[in-house]
């Protein structure tokens, strides 16, 4: 087992191209070996079958010829054993040339026919009575192999029982099979070598896309330049792998671009409140150092501004943390049954505090969804904050939840049609609202939260053609508490 384990370890340590070439050569070698063995056995069976057919045509009875000293005339070389009969035949018939040998076994002697080349070695089973002739493997007296036909007959003149042996040497067949085995072995060896070379060529051609993919991966690992792709040809497994890699590389490039934009946009958004905070702090420090304190009203206003700026920073950092959380962490949040109508009621109460002069028209019906309650509440509050921010003084904000569709409509300036495609982008703010507070992340958080709940959100003009914008949120659920 240890050498086999070492061989497996050595094989796994080879390159994929080498292993593919070796496996191809091994598969071809097995196929050639099986074909060669099948060919050998078929030819062997056919040759021996021909020998058996020639023996099957041999006579089972001796012809009725005149006798010579009480013996059948064809069998004139007799003796007590096959060896003596052969010796007699060698002395009296030196011109023997027949490839077929006939030998008769009487009760008291063994006789060899004219022209028989050599005596047949008998076995005890030959003298046993048999109803029908049969064939067996045997040998001549010199040890060479033969195919022997055994038949029970009767001497036609004296009617004495005898066993008639007819043998054909199989040396010619064995020589032919040996030559065939050498030829098949040579063909198999050439086939294995050719298969190895062909497997190497095929592996190199088949793995060319893998080499290209490896080069691109190594280039990305060396330079960190994501986004590189490789050409895709065909629709096989290698092409699918190349397509998947291209998709992954493009996704990584887009992710890096989004990350870069997020950092740049976050830095831009953080710079404004930080600069204002630093200016106010510098003024307070300078007034204390110079001994000329600021007027109390000015100082109170500056402290109020600093507090508002710190609150803006806190909200911005919270939004950034929400957006930067990986998708896997979001999926780990347990989704429970949430009463969306209760979340909407709480969000409306908080919005009333932020827009004390506004009128809220509320029509909220029960609706239960599966999701994360804090995230959904933050999303609804963001929608209401957006409506409060753009509503005119003493304006009306309409909030409705009917059959799982949450709508928030304000009566402000609305959103230009050319800007509707950007409202859910991170840090995007309409040029007309840059002077208003906000980071441009609220609607992005709304879209992400609704998507996590397998819902949809849209923002567009009011359906009645009036002023303002209408936000519509659809989240799958039901009006009753699920059992």
**What are the structural domains, with CATH classification, of the chain?**
59-171 (no CATH), 237-324 (1.10.287.130), 333-478 (3.30.565.10)
pLDDT band at 114 (very low <50, low <70, confident <90, very high): low
Greater confidence (329 vs 51) lies with 51
| pLDDT (average), residues 393-397 | 87
Whether 402 has a pLDDT exceeding 80, the answer reads: yes
**Does residue 194 surpass a pLDDT of 70?**
yes
Calculate mean pLDDT across residues 362-374. Answer: 88
Question: Residue 404 pLDDT > 60, yes or no?
Answer: yes
Q: What's the Cα-to-Cα distance from 457 to each of 193, 417, 423, 444, 477, rounded to whole Å?
A: 66, 17, 11, 11, 15
The structure tokens listed for 31 are 């196929």
pLDDT of residue 64: 46
DSSP-assigned letter for residue 391 = S
333-344 pLDDT, tens digit each: 556 888 998 999
- How many Cβ atoms sit within 10 Å of the Cβ of residue 255? 11
Rg of the chain taking only CA atoms, in angstroms:
52
Could you give the CA distance from residue 414 to residue 397 in angstroms, rounded to a whole number? 13
- 271-295 confidence digits (pLDDT tens): 767 777 888 888 888 887 887 777 8
Q: Is 434 or 21 the better-scoring residue by pLDDT? A: 21
Q: Which of 127, 191, 148, 178 is nearest to 51 (CA)?
A: 148
Average pLDDT on 361-378 reads 88
DSSP string, 390-451: HSPTT-EEEEEEETTEEEEE--SS---GGGGGGTTSTT---GGGTTSS--S-HHHHHHHHHH
Query: Above 80 in pLDDT, residue 403?
Result: yes
**Does the structure show a pLDDT above 80 at 411?**
yes
The answer to whether 209 and 239 are in contact (CB under 8 A) is yes
Distance CA 474, CA 483 (A): 22
Distances (CA, A) of 434 to 20, 306, 437: 63, 20, 8
Who contacts 75 (Cβ-Cβ below 8 Å, separation ≥6)? 62, 102, 104, 111, 112, 113
Alpha helix positions (H), 325-411:
327-332, 340-354, 373-390
Contacts of 181 (CB under 8 A, 6+ apart): 40
Which among 80-84, 98-102, 114-118, 469-473 has the top mean pLDDT? 469-473
Confidence at residue 406, expressed as pLDDT on a 0 to 100 scale: 92
H/E stretch holding 472 reads strand 469-474
Helix (H) or strand (E) holding 363: strand 359-364
What contacts 145, CB < 8 A, 6 or more positions away?
Answer: 137, 138, 139, 169, 170, 171, 174
Q: Which of 145, 198, 148, 190 is nearest to 172 (CA)?
A: 145
Over range 110-137, report the average pLDDT: 75
3-state helix, strand, coil in the chain (%, to 5): 55, 15, 30
- 283, 302 contact by CB (below 8 A): yes
Mean of pLDDT values over 173-184? 88
Q: How far apart are the first and last CA of the chain?
A: 60
DSSP string, 228-258: ------SSSHHHHHHHHHHHHHHHHHHHHHH
> How many CB atoms are located within 10 Å of the residue 233 CB?
11
Give mean pLDDT, residues 178-186.
89
Tokens of 290: 């110079």
Inform me whether the pLDDT recorded for 453 exceeds 80. Answer: yes
Of 123, 139, 136, 140, nearest in space to 89 by CA: 140
Going by the DSSP 8-state scheme, the letter that residue 417 receives in this structure is: G
Characterise 312 by phi-psi region: left (phi > 0), alpha (psi -120 to 50), beta (else). Answer: alpha
- Residues 414, 325: Cα–Cα separation, whole Å: 31
Counting every residue written for the chain, the total comes to: 483
In this structure, the number of other CB atoms found within 10 A of the CB of residue 351 comes to 21
> Is 353:319 a contact under the CB 8 Å cutoff?
no
Measured distance CA(157)–CA(155) in Å, rounded? 6
In eight-state DSSP terms, residue 293 is P
Closest to 415 measured CA to CA, from 427, 435, 432, 437: 432
For residues 344 and 37, what is the distance between their CA atoms, to the nearest angstrom? 82
φ, ψ dihedrals at 305, nearest 5°: -65, -40
Report which of residues 113 and 389 the model is more confident about: 389
Query: Is 412 a residue whose pLDDT tops 80?
Result: yes
């Amino acid at each position: 087992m240890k050498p086999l384990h070492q061989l497996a370890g050595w094989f796994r340590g080879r390159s994929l191209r080498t292993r593919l070439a070796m496996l191809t050569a091994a598969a071809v070698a097995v196929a050639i070996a099986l074909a060669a063995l099948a060919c050998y056995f078929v030819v062997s069976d056919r040759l021996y079958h021909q020998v058996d057919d020639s023996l099957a045509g041999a006579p089972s009875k001796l012809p009725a010829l005149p006798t010579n000293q009480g013996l059948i005339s064809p069998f004139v070389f007799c003796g007590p054993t096959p060896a003596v009969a052969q010796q007699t035949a060698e002395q009296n018939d030196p011109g023997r040339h027949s490839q077929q040998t006939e030998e008769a076994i009487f009760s008291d002697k063994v006789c060899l026919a004219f022209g028989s080349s050599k005596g047949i070695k008998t076995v005890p089973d030959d003298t046993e009575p048999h109803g029908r002739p049969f064939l067996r493997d045997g040998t001549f007296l010199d040890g060479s192999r033969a195919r022997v036909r055994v038949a029970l007959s009767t001497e036609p003149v004296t009617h004495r029982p005898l066993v008639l042996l007819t043998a054909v040497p199989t040396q010619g067949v064995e020589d032919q099979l040996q030559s065939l085995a050498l030829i098949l072995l040579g063909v198999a060896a050439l086939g294995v070598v050719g298969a190895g070379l062909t497997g190497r060529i095929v592996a190199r051609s088949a793995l060319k896309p893998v080499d290209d993919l490896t080069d691109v991966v190594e280039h990305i690992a060396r330079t960190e330049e994501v986004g590189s792709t490789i050409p895709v040809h065909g629709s096989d497994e290698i092409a699918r792998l190349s397509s998947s890699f291209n998709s992954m590389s493009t996704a990584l490039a887009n992710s890096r671009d989004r990350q870069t934009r997020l950092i740049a946009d976050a830095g831009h958004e953080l710079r404004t409140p930080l600069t204002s905070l630093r200016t106010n702090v510098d003024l307070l420090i300078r007034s204390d150092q110079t001994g000329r304190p600021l007027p109390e009203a000015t100082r109170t206003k500056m402290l109020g501004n600093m507090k508002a700026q710190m609150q803006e920073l806190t909200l911005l950092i919270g939004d950034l943390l929400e957006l930067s959380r990986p998708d896997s962490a979001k999926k780990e949040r347990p989704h429970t049954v949430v009463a969306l109508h209760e979340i909407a009621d709480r969000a409306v109460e908080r919005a009333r505090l932020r827009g004390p002069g506004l009128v809220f028209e509320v029509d909220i019906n029960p609706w239960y969804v599966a999701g994360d309650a804090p995230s959904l509440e933050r999303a609804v509050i963001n929608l209401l904050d957006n409506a409060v921010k753009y509503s005119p003084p003493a304006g009306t904000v309409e909030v409705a939840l009917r059959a799982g569709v949450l709508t928030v409509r304000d009566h402000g300036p609305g959103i230009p049609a050319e800007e509707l495609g950007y409202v859910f982008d991170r840090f995007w703010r309409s040029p007309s609202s840059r002077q208003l507070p906000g980071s441009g992340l609220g609607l992005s958080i709304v879209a992400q939260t609704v998507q996590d709940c397998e819902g949809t959100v849209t923002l567009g003009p009011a359906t009645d053609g009036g002023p303002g914008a209408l936000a519509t949120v659809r989240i799958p659920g039901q009006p009753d508490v699920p059992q």
